[in-house]
Chain A
């Protein structure tokens, strides 16, 4: 006989029956059941198949310590893979299927694999499948491997909620010790948070089945709960502490229901109390993987929490003093229980899919269920995450938390304090030092460990089918460190991450090696303590709130004007305007800008002010070009180099006054330039004489560029004289627009006369509209980034990071004078004289011309040469466009010795195809600069 529901008891709500199916058959359970408890109550035993051999598996545990019953579950439209039956709360309508079994857990067609186990032992795949090649076998192996099948639909509304949280004391575990400590501290005025991963507090009290401090577990738990709340403590159930990170940051995953993503609490706790309890560990014996073999703890848990009796004729095989109480409870519930002393000799389970009995030391006992407890293992994972050490206790045959750490203590069973009264005293002493230690019923244990060389198949890792023989084999092959043992056999690498297997594995190896258990040690404990969905880490860091773009003050105006907005350098900016195709719009905008004028939104341009008595020396140091001699009202173009001499950014520097400069760096680099400037500021400068202010967000800028630009800006109603003699190129003026300050810089990115007008954000809409109105009657209008890219390329103006690469130095770009002449030191100066900086074969900035009909060269194509019979790259095409104004394709490139090869033909290679191009100056338009200076 298998499991059944008893008439009363448990925390389930018998007034709320729920329907579900498993492997196609319908069952019912109650609200408060897990899938495992509901199936057991229905007499179902076989709930899964092992990973490798597809042996039938029943549940071993009642909570996260079960590696066997893993289901794919469908609920309404949503399907989730790899749900542990023991920790999944039953919801009406669930359709569950055992993973990795077909057609069902009960009758799996791959069960025959077990016949080949002799050749499928640990590491078998390293020794075979090499000939003719792994590729031949891999597809089949991959299909056999893996547990759950992933449904390829996303779950609607599956979004995690994430928050920062903090407290004085975080108590992890709401069992007897945790509740007691939480109450004591809350009543002592501490700000405490208590978490427990079950929906109901109480931990092991339900399975223990005894009164506590004179009350039934449920009454006692309710009192603690009430007292904690009244003292202001916070309690979170269905919440798992899954990891501890540096400086006492604890990751909490709060379960919000089956189809909902859990909530992440990033809990910063001044102190952590680990009251996480202990696990009942398996005994390693022959055929110990049969369905119907469970931990003692699981049986009493199913009884106490869920009102399920796991079997009728139970053999309870144990080596420790807690077995007696468990036997009494099970008998009281109506089972026949035979207690067997596990230390009496070799143990063997009898029967196949259905247990028939157990043999202990030669004696046979008939049974339908075997409860096997090898002793308690404190759950110390979080202790280890935090860097705490473990001590081995011979008297407990267990690893317990070692010396207390700053900010973290362990209490109760987690600390190896298995006796109830001692645990409660220990919990109370968390508040005050030196609590009285009261002796309760002793936990005594006679260790029984796997015996290497023992007969029969003895399982250590149930899910991964790792047996004692595999450990022996690993030892034979010299994989003797616990880490090698783990990786070679895959012991401890399953869903339970070794909760049920690590102890047996390491002790078996210790025994084989003749080493002590502490000498052998454990493998590394890593988060998450239980598997958590990827979504837990995502929350709102998704979609368009992930790396959100910066937005223009004029965005609504651009949209209204029909702009196609795109992502450029971290901003959302107009790419082009209007209903036409992109190509047609860009062509029209280029033509308009060269004929009349283009008006565009250049607000993203950096406006970083450098101020103070040391500003001049500083800016002169930061920039490659000499800035020291810049006069107020003047603008200079400059390069910012890295210490390696590589061009990091270009920009224009305007001098507003003797001690005030504005750096207008490229839009995509503002944050980087600002950080760079601040870092250099703090390196050896007097902090009171030099300041860097990034004012980019405060100013909006509109640029008018083209032959008619001057006429248009003259309509702004300022008092400025725009005639070229009074307002030449590379100068700026400060004025007033709409009563607010305005700066007009005559800088050009297109090669035509251009005016960049910067005003406070609040004024930009009027500025734009004024310029558009003035421009409209002259044939000018808005242009977007795409047209701008073409216009600047016609003039040979480069874009750092596009027309330069990680090697480009200023003298490669035709700016060689400061390197030769600038006396003052500047960032990168030494690197400009390194061996590589002085090579004659450096790649230099050039233009490329192709015949008109040929179409533009592909950006990313390489310029190539043949040397020693091999093709080598001598350059790259960095920008390439069809130029509407010039009526032909143009391109920019970096090319070895480019300056010396003007006029020569060069081979351009792209995806295997070659073309020819001619090396030209990168400036295709108005080299004399007449349009620029007009």
Chain B
């Protein structure tokens, strides 16, 4: 029986990191919903007619991310009943607490992301699903070419934060040399 308290850093409450050319902060969308099913039905249920992939630039507070052919993540969308919607043929699950979301901004934002994921602006992908340094993540462009958002499973947010601090430092240092 081992007490590992000292091996794992105490969880960080306010996750904000500011470096030259790079800012990373945690944001908390009001609602996140995973919906699976035919896209037409999803549009009908949410009132949103477009789901975004990479490297499309998203805007607006309410948007839809494509995870796979038959699955989306709706951010700040309507409050839909959890479970199976028989009329539309949709599986709906609230995941507001299931993902931790971070916004990455600055001249070095893409360089930071590329320390964990092989994202390339010239290689589009219909899905926002990626691996970020081995963590399952969703990565997409937000508002402009130097701002991105990344979602990781909420139970991995401490791992992401520790990694992000180290990778951000490396990206920042690289930019200045």
Known: A164-B118, A540-B167, A566-B4. 15 other contacts (CB 8 A): A161-B170, A164-B115, A164-B117, A164-B120, A551-B8, A552-B155, A556-B11, A567-B4, A571-B155, A609-B91, A611-B84, A612-B84, A693-B36, A761-B154, A786-B1
A545 lies within 8 A of B166 (CB): yes
Asked whether A564 lies within 8 Å of B3 as measured between CB atoms, the reply is yes
Q: Which of B1, B11, B119 contacts A555 (CB 8 A)?
A: B11
Q: How far is the CA of A695 from the CA of B73 in the complex (A)?
A: 13
**Chain B residues at the A interface, C-beta cutoff of 8 Å:** 1-5, 7-11, 13, 34, 36-38, 70, 82-84, 86, 89, 91, 93-99, 111, 114-115, 117-120, 122-123, 133-135, 153-159, 162-163, 166-167, 170-171, 173-174
Contacts of A648 in B (CB 8 A): none
Count of residues in A whose CB is under 8 Å from the partner chain: 58
Chain A residue at minimal CB-CB distance from B7? A544
Nearest chain B CB to A883 CB, angstrom units: 17
A166 touches B123 (CB 8 A): yes
- Give B41 Cβ to nearest chain A Cβ, in Å: 9
> How near does chain A come to B89, taking the closest CB pair, in angstroms?
6
Question: In the bound complex, do residue B84 and residue A268 qualify as a contact, i.e. CB atoms below 8 Å apart?
Answer: no
Q: Is the CB of A691 within 8 A of B154?
A: no
Whole-angstrom distance from the CB of B173 to the nearest CB of chain A?
8
A596 at the interface (CB under 8 A from B): no
Is A237 part of the contact surface with B, judged by Cβ < 8 Å?
Answer: no
CA A533 – CA B139 in complex, angstroms?
A: 31
Known interface pairs A164-B117, A553-B154, A565-B4; A657-B89 also in contact (CB < 8 Å) = no
**Could you say which of B89, B96, B159, B163 contacts A698, with CB atoms under 8 Å apart?**
B96
Closest residue of A by beta carbon distance from B32: A698
Report chain B residues within 8 Å CB of A609.
83, 91, 93
Output the least CB separation between A675 and chain B (Å). Answer: 12
Residues in B whose Cβ lies below 8 Å from that of A565: 3-5, 8
* A566-B3 contact in complex given A166-B123, A540-B167, A611-B91, C-beta closer than 8 Å: yes
Which residue on chain A has the smallest CB distance to residue B115?
Answer: A163
Q: Give residues of chain A (650-670) contacting chain B, Cβ–Cβ below 8 Å.
A: 656-657, 659-660
Within the complex, the shortest CB–CB distance from B7 to chain A, in Å, comes to: 6
Question: Quick check: is A687 within 8 A (CB to CB) of the other chain?
Answer: yes
State the CA gap A165–B115 with chains docked (Å). Answer: 9
Is B37 a contact of A165 with CB atoms below 8 Å? Answer: no
Please, which residues of chain A bring their CB within 8 A of the CB of B162? Answer: 544-545, 548
Which of B37, B83, B154, B159 sits near A688, CB closer than 8 Å?
B37
Q: Is the CB of B1 within 8 A of A659?
A: no
- Is B84 a contact partner of A657 (Cβ separation < 8 A)? yes
Q: B97 near A698 (CB under 8 angstroms)?
A: yes
Mark A277-319 against chain B: 1 for CB-CB distance below 8 A, else 0: 0000000000000000000000000000000000000000000
**A123 contacts partner chain B, Cβ-Cβ < 8 Å:** no
Closest B residue by C-beta to A168: B122
Closest B residue to A249 by beta carbon equals B118
State the CA gap A268–B118 with chains docked (Å).
9
Would you call the interface of chain B mostly helix, strand, loop, or mixed?
loop
Q: If A549-B159, A697-B153 touch, does A165 touch B97 (CB 8 Å cutoff)? A: no
Contact of A544 among B8, B123, B133 (CB under 8 A): B8
Contact of B94 among A162, A166, A698 (CB under 8 A): A698
CB within 8 Å of B: which A691-710 residues: 691, 693, 695-700
Chain A residues 675 to 692 lying within 8 A of chain B, measured CB to CB, are 687-689, 691
Using Cβ atoms and an 8 Å threshold, which residues of chain B touch A545? 133, 159, 162-163, 166
B152 to chain A: closest residue by CB: A697
Q: Contacts of A566 on B, CB cut-off 8 Å?
A: 1-4
Residue contacts A-B, CB under 8 angstroms, 19 given: A163-B171, A165-B114, A191-B122, A540-B166, A540-B167, A545-B133, A553-B97, A553-B154, A559-B5, A565-B3, A565-B5, A565-B8, A566-B4, A567-B2, A572-B4, A575-B3, A609-B91, A613-B86, A615-B84
Cβ-closest chain B residue relative to A562 = B5
Contact yes or no, A263 B114, CB < 8 A: no
Evaluate contact between A268 and B5: CB separation under 8 angstroms.
Answer: no
Residue contact A612 to B94, C-beta cutoff 8 Å = no
- Within the assembled complex, what's the spacing in Å between the Cα atoms of A576 and B97? 26
Whether A164 and B119, one on each chain, are in contact in the complex, defined by CB atoms closer than 8 angstroms, is yes
